[in-house]
Amino acid sequence: MTAANGPPPTKHRKSAKQGRTYLTGMPLLRRAGRPDRDARAFLRILNLATRLRPVEQYSLRELREVWRLTALALSQQPPVARVTEVVIDGPGGPIELRIFTPEHTDQALPAFLWFHGGGFVVGGLDTAESICRSATYHADCISIAVRYRLAPEHDLAAGREDCLAALQWVAEQGATLGVDTTRLAIGGDSAGGNLCAAVAQAAQRQGGAALCLQVLAYPATDLVQEFPSFVENAEGFMITDTLLAQIKHTVAGSFATLDPEDPWLSPRRRRDLRGLPPAVVISAGFDPIRDDGLDYAERLRAAGVPVELLHYAGQFHGFLNFDAVIGAGRDALQRIGDALAAAFSGESIADRTVEISDAESARPSSLYAAAGELTAAGLMTWVATERWSGTLLRQLSPTAAGTTRVLLQPLCLPVSLMRRRLVTRLDQRVACQTYPKT
């Protein structure tokens, strides 16, 4: 079947191990035997920290601040020409937008709106910063982070109303920012992926902005259904069943007046997905909501919507926010940028599944494997400590942070070059297209 007529016919295969039927476009390996090497090092540090102070001991205010600082510290923050903020009128009050612009040009540029993750209760403009910067850097577009209303101060409808209002405002007023309003895309991670899917459906249903792409990073598209990955990845992989239970408790008040089965809240439950914009869907093997995102990708394809499914079988939920220490995060952000650039130039998205994993050495000796683990753990600790220190210093005094960086740069340069070589040597992945077979 040609691209003009839609994706290839969908076929089914049977998983003997799990006794379930899947469409052929799903990853051949949903979950690696163990997390990727840098993910293992990251999770060791994270799990130690949560043992010292369990997540349920944090207040909501503390959780919000910890997540904000963590996202700032462990992300790369690529350079862009200009960062500005505007405030627009929203359905429940002002909505803040942070706008990332590439090099100055007299030509109108396409725009990418990003809805941050955080379980509908944490996150904000700072946690969206690195992903928006990356999209602007790689796709030469204007990226716009949206600060939407969070629970429990507001119900779950409020945030998606804000995101839809932000998209409508950009579609109508974006020219004032230098946006080409005929080339718009949206995206989001986790809870933001839920918002992105819901907003894409609403824009289509209402005849609103015509979107050329939606980017869904490990999206939670169903607030009712619990998938097998919830049990499979319940402990030890960033998002635990304890944290999910805490989030459910925090947002529970919304369901006194809202129906969680309504597609506006659970976009997976919309019966007809035909005509939605093409999608890039990112999934991670060690993610409790992995099967949710895969199921939505499956449903989009069944409705004739092209989907580029990028599956990282050795990664965990949230890895895009940690691209300073997680190589797969850098890889995924580059692929998102490439997909955006292609969509903005009018190219059709490739309807395919690509599985990305560590490039493991063939039958390494136990000594070699131990050395690799130790090196990865050392690098992770080194980089994370350095970035956390710099982030905290910038929060206390940007001037002092800048002065310290200038003074230490000559001393740190040789060490930084050595570290970069080590990271490059360890940071190697293999990407394999498993659908359709080439």
- Tell me which of 75, 130, 190, 357 is the catalytic residue: 190
**Among the CATH numbers 1.10.10.10, 3.40.50.170, 3.40.50.1820, 3.40.50.620, which is that of 3-360+430-435?**
3.40.50.1820
CA 191 – CA 124 distance, rounded (Å): 12
Helices (H), 182-326: 191-206, 228-232, 241-251, 290-302
User: Where are any strands of DSSP class E within 329-398?
Assistant: 352-358
Query: Do residues 368 and 438 make contact, with C-beta atoms less than 8 angstroms apart?
Result: no
- Looking at residue 105, its amino acid is T
CB neighbours of 140 closer than 8 A, spacing ≥ 6? 102, 109, 341
| Residue 283 main-chain phi, psi, to 5 deg | -135, 160
| Residue 105 main-chain phi, psi, to 5 deg | -150, 150
**Percentage helix, strand, coil for the chain under 3-state DSSP, each rounded to 5:** 45, 20, 30
Give domain limits for the chain: 3-360+430-435, 368-428
CA 255 – CA 348 distance, rounded (Å): 39
pLDDT at 7: 36
pLDDT at 387: 63
pLDDT, the chain, mean: 86
What is 51-112 written as a DSSP string?
A: HHS-GGGS-HHHHHHHHHHHHHHTS-----SEEEEEEEEETTEEEEEEEEE-S--SS-EEEE
pLDDT at 45: 87
- Tell me which of 317, 331, 351, 357 is the catalytic residue: 317
pLDDT at 114: 98
pLDDT at 140: 96
Known active-site residue 12: no
pLDDT at 55: 84
pLDDT at 426: 62
pLDDT at 377: 64
Cis check: omega of the bond before 277, within 30 degrees of 0: no
pLDDT at 408: 46
pLDDT at 149: 98
Q: For the segment 343-396, what is each residue's pLDDT rounded down to a tens digit?
A: 999 999 999 999 999 876 555 666 656 666 666 666 666 566 666 566 665 665
pLDDT at 11: 44
CA 114 – CA 125 distance, rounded (Å): 10
- Tell me which of 287, 291, 358, 427 is the catalytic residue: 287
Known active-site residue 427: no
Known active-site residue 190: yes
Element (H, E) at 310: strand 307-316
List of the chain residues with pLDDT < 70 = 1-24, 360-426
CB neighbours of 166 closer than 8 A, spacing ≥ 6? 88, 90, 95, 97, 113, 144, 146, 148
Beta-bridge mates of residue 95:
88
- 326, 332, 336, 338: CA torsion to nearest 10: 110
Residue 267 is given by DSSP the state: G
The structure tokens listed for 298 are 């499956």
pLDDT at 349: 92
